[in-house]
Structure 1
């Protein structure tokens, strides 16, 4: 159905005139000149074929046809206003599906306790958390975003750092009893270590050690007997007698 925009504009002017009580005050509220308001009323009357206002130099009032027309318009314009308010309110509501590519360890230690709070704040969101070891192709795989540790992979990603976390070197007491405690990062080459795989860059993470306060750092690229993708396996290995790890 085609709508006549000029008809709706004329109706708006008529409502403003009736509510203001004069064309002059209506013109001030609409940002028009009084003559512009008068012409809009005349065009509306010509469009619908009846006289809506009786006006003299001192008085103005609705005709019988104008009053019936005005009374019919009120509920319709109220409906338009309600529709506009509803649309404006829905724009401020977060809704729909959010599909997230998330690192399994990040999901376990961060999202597990925060996902419920997020859904309480945004009850109209359907959250899909898909555990992946790498970011991959977000568009081809249908993801809206990815949550992963480390540097973002190369590509046309928009990346934001959420927080920083410490990385600690750990070994079980049984391992240290059996193999001794290294006193310097350089001694790690003599130990059986577990490395963590950086899937985004297809290589194992370097072991970086920093003096506190941060005055110097040492980087070690080791050749461990095991490289692990899942941090749960990394932690399990570090709890044994056989390996030290960088969890």
Structure 2
């Protein structure tokens, strides 16, 4: 196939559709109309001779041929962009629009109090912070970077560990007065243990206890299961049962006595917080700036 500039232009539009997740977002990124983006993709499909996108009234997704084309072409497009930035001297500039998906625990307790500092440091950057499930599709949602708790499954995403926070087993004084305090993790079998859903596996997290290299898995059960951390913590504070929570964000409740840590002699279980982004050979300066900032402010909270 003879090369012409229309092929490169069409690939750039397709990449914007994939990264934006819709014709509308791609149009905003490229300064075009949504119909113009749709026509450009259609022309590319006609040029290549294969269908690249499955279109419905509610969503877009790459076909197998489109996925292969995008995976092969994306690094070259990123290289062209990097070369252009270097030539213009703007490779290190932090500007434009950044869309970040941030776990609500980190957002509320760590990021939000430091955002004025971030805004003052990068006045030319317009940042949108959203909260999505930790298993959400970054590319489909047009997310530049995400801050997520939990081990990250193998994928094409680039991942950076920000911190590890302790997992605490806690209960309210009212619950302990009513049901007694378990003396060991094994005694949890006789208690109402509040369950929390793993957003990646769609089933409750296992309860494990670690110390000095020893791992003790405990089978627990309870009458309540939650997918929202704030609701689970509120229910635990109200005396609904025993819960496992992350130390990050509840230190004040433990210090005030609203919650009691039950097994401080089992301090070894931790949970990781990662920054993830769509994998590219070169990350945009705005993404690197946000990642570096989050890494710096997270450091004091790690264990």
TM bracket, shorter-chain basis: 0.5 to 0.7
TM-score, normalised relative to structure 1? 0.60
Distance 2:142 2:232 in 1: 29
2:180 is matched with 180
Distance 1:121 1:221 in 2: 48
1:97 aligns with 2:97: yes
Do the aligned partners of 2:134 and 2:149 also contact (CA within 8 Å) in 1?
Answer: no
3-state SS, counterpart of residue 160 of structure 1: strand
Per-residue deviation, residues 105-145 of structure 1 (Å, max 9, x unmatched): 22111211222222222111111111112331110111111
Distance 1:177 1:134 in 2: 36
Distance 2:155 2:145 in 1: 14
1:152 is matched with 152
Equivalent positions of 1:200-219 (< 5 A) are: 200-211=200-211, 214-219=212-217
Equivalent positions of 1:75-114 (< 5 A) are: 87-88=88-89, 90-114=90-114
Distance 1:201 1:117 in 2: 36
Match of 1:227 among 214, 225, 228: 225
- What stretches of structure 2 of length at least 5 have no aligned partner? 1-85, 246-303
- What stretches of structure 1 of length at least 5 have no aligned partner? 1-84
1:242 is matched with 240
User: Is the radius of gyration larger for structure 1 or structure 2?
Assistant: 1
Per-residue deviation, residues 166-213 of structure 1 (Å, max 9, x unmatched): 1111100010011111111111121111122110222221112122xx
1:134 is matched with 134
3-state SS, counterpart of residue 98 of structure 2: strand
Distance 2:177 2:116 in 1: 42
Distance change (3 Å), C-alpha of 1:92 and 1:136: same
Q: Which has the higher contact order (CA 8 A, sep 6+)?
A: 2
TM-score, normalised relative to structure 2? 0.50
Q: CA RMSD in A?
A: 2.1
3-state SS, counterpart of residue 159 of structure 1: strand
